[in-house]
Amino acid sequence: MGTITGKEFIERIDRLNTDIWIDGKQMEGKISEHPAFKGILQSKASLYDLQMEKQLKSKLTYLSDDLGEPIGLSFLQPKTKKELKKRRTMIEQWAKHTNGMMGRSPDYMNTVVMAFASSTSLLEGRKNCFPENIQTLYERAKKQDLSFTHTFITPQVNRSQFHFDSSTEPISAKVIDRNENGIIIQGARLLATQGGLTDEVLVYSAGGVIDEDLAYAFSIPSDTIGLKFICRESFVGGDSTFDYPLSSRYEEMDTILVFDHVLVPWNRVFFYDNIEASNQFLLQSSFQSFASHQVITRQIVKTEFVLGVAELLVETINVSEYQHIQEKLAEVIIGLETMKALLAKSEIDAKLDEEGYMRPSMLPLQVASNIFPKIYPRFSEIIEIVGASGMVSLPTEKDFFSAIRTDLDQYLQGANKNAEDRVKIFRLAWDLTMSSFGTRQTQYERYFFGDPIRLSSQLYSTYPKEQYVKQISEFLELNS
């Protein structure tokens, strides 16, 4: 089959019998028609349709030797720098289409599955490890253009380092039984963005596992029996793209996953009861390099969007002459160019790994992943500061079709824009930063790669500092 159309994607998701709970009710009917999900599903569908466009096909797909059909390029295992660049161009194209707002566009998880499949030798011959199941999943995902969500973390109950979960009923989802059919999972996992809106969910116990029951990884269909997705409140403001230009299109939803005696068949298990594999695979595989390469590419596109919005605000109310405004816009430009330089360096320094795949260099990507969670909240603040009262003087589309239109036309015009366009621009700035959708974006980018504090600790402890210490020691002629 290979690549699918948007329509095929929607039909497939609608056919699933996924157990989704939202606002106190179990979802009924077609997911694609639900007010909380229809916008994001349409946006996702439009990405699949792009793969079918004649002039974009060679940019977004590749011809698989073994399958003989076009496959989404995010599944490509790059063997050369040219192929790595091709991957990036594809990611850029999809991110531009969604203005960098879709953190979980399908290429993110496709990249994760591709990276897992490119590192299976790490699990070869090890206790309770089934690398062949990762390969099978990868082949199936390519062939059917599957989409995934993922859940890597445990419920946020007690994060003290000395806490040991001794509850009789599991809180963090764990293996409670192993039988001839597979492993049985009971408990909960966080936090699957787009949970219930994808074909499958990839579950991985990440981050310092010390209990064998928690040391597992697998992927199962979203409508597996016993699996439930609990949604947060929807941040879709409404259908109007005038009033809610972003949330009406890109509200991704975040979900808690509850496993009630879920049977994960053996052919779906990547590993279980293996603490070492659980703690090492993510770090040693090409997961971090390829996933970060995808993420930084999208974040650059998002920063370009932020810059465009900020500059439009500046022009609309004509405040470019003020130095503090110039300084703030320069902050966004510096962030953008820094991220671009780091991404380029990751490709220039890319190297073939032991499996023969061209891995982008991790260090520049690691630096970028440390920078973005700090600069993105600042970008949001900059837009709020530049926009000032305009961020809340926001009549709706309906107001422009009412008797007060003449007032709006007179009092809400901009320096070089009519009132309607001015309000459109400010509503976009508001949806990007101050609406429930916008504030979630800030939290999302802050925690995308995990806790930013622990990211800095990881950078500090892995960065090769010895040569610099040696230089100073020699300069001072230190003896000890």
Ligand X SMILES: Cc1cc2nc3c(=O)[nH]c(=O)nc-3n(C[C@H](O)[C@H](O)[C@H](O)COP(=O)(O)OP(=O)(O)OC[C@H]3O[C@@H](n4cnc5c(N)ncnc54)[C@H](O)[C@@H]3O)c2cc1C
End-to-end alpha-carbon separation of the chain, Å?
Answer: 66
443 binds ligand X (CB under 6 A): yes
Buried-state track 354-382, b at ≥16 Cβ within 10 A, e below 16: ebebbbbbbebbbbbbbbbbebbbebbeb
Contact residue for ligand X among 109, 192, 277, 329 (CB under 6 A): 192
Q: Which stretch binds ligand X (CB under 6 A): 105-113, 122-130, 237-245, 448-456?
A: 448-456
447 binds ligand X (CB under 6 A): yes
374 binds ligand X (CB under 6 A): no
Q: Which stretch binds ligand X (CB under 6 A): 54-62, 187-195, 260-268, 349-357?
A: 187-195
Q: Judged by CB, which is closer to ligand X: 152, or 266?
A: 152
Q: Judged by CB, which is closer to ligand X: 21, or 266?
A: 21
Q: Judged by CB, which is closer to ligand X: 121, or 443?
A: 443
Do 85 and 252 meet the contact criterion of CB atoms below 8 Å apart? no
Report the side by side order of strands in the sheet with 227-231.
25-26, 19-22, 227-231, 254-265, 182-193, 174-179
Instruction: Report, in this order, helix, strand and coil percent for the chain, each rounded to 5.
Output: 50, 15, 35
- Please name which of 439, 45, 95 lies closest in space to residue 247, comparing C-alpha atoms: 439
Q: Which residue has the tokens 């930013």?
A: 452
CB of 102 to ligand X, least distance (A): 12
Question: How many beta carbons lie within 10 A of that of residue 474, not counting itself?
Answer: 9
Q: How many binding residues for ligand X (CB under 6 A)?
A: 19
x-or-dash string of contact with ligand X, 155-174, rule CB under 6 A: -x--x-x-------------
Q: Judged by CB, which is closer to ligand X: 103, or 335?
A: 103
Q: Judged by CB, which is closer to ligand X: 213, or 254?
A: 254
Paired with 187 in beta bridges are 259
Contact residue for ligand X among 453, 467, 472, 477 (CB under 6 A): 453
Q: Judged by CB, which is closer to ligand X: 162, or 401?
A: 162
152 binds ligand X (CB under 6 A): yes
Q: Judged by CB, which is closer to ligand X: 192, or 375?
A: 192
**CA-to-CA distance for 69 and 56, rounded, in angstroms?**
16
CB of 211 to ligand X, least distance (A): 17
Do 460 and 391 meet the contact criterion of CB atoms below 8 Å apart? no
Q: Judged by CB, which is closer to ligand X: 322, or 447?
A: 447
CB of 278 to ligand X, least distance (A): 14
Query: Binders of ligand X among 242-271, rule CB under 6 A?
Result: 254
Query: Binders of ligand X among 292-321, rule CB under 6 A?
Result: none
Q: Judged by CB, which is closer to ligand X: 61, or 151?
A: 151
Q: Which pair of structure tokens corresponds to residue 191?
A: 């936090």
Do 431 and 422 meet the contact criterion of CB atoms below 8 Å apart? no
Q: Which pair of structure tokens corresponds to residue 122?
A: 């790490």
Q: Which stretch binds ligand X (CB under 6 A): 39-47, 154-162, 348-356, 471-479?
A: 154-162
Contact residue for ligand X among 7, 127, 324, 454 (CB under 6 A): 454
Query: Binders of ligand X among 89-148, rule CB under 6 A?
Result: none
Helix (H) / strand (E) element for 450: namely none
400 binds ligand X (CB under 6 A): no
- Please name which of 273, 270, 295 lies closest in space to residue 282, comparing C-alpha atoms: 270
226 binds ligand X (CB under 6 A): no
- Please name which of 303, 307, 297, 291 lies closest in space to residue 343, comparing C-alpha atoms: 297
Q: Which pair of structure tokens corresponds to residue 20?
A: 């989704």
Positions touching ligand X (CB under 6 A) are 150-153, 156, 159, 161, 191-193, 254, 440, 443-444, 447, 450-451, 453-454
